Amino acid sequence: IVAATECRYGIPSGLLDALILQESRYHPTAVSPKGAIGLAQLMPATAGSLGVADPYDPSLNIDGGGRYLRNMGASQNLVVNVR
């Protein structure tokens, strides 16, 4: 799912995987002290703005995390393969 999401959103290979590993250690029910949720550690408001209905759902969280990375990379001209 992670590699497919990176491909779908033009994210450099391994970047989303590294984010998930760092932020949640691949624990889908992880919640940070600040309230970030799930694998990609989406804040509730961010998850809502990305249309992630259930941030605890691994596939929805990964997709939302991928879109967030794409959007942030594009806004900073960091991700060159934005589709």
CB hemisphere CA count around 69 (13 angstroms): 28
List, by residue number, the catalytic residues: 23
Amino acid identity of residue 39, one-letter, is L
d(CA 65, CA 47): 9
Q: Are the beta carbons of 69 and 11 closer than 8 angstroms? A: yes
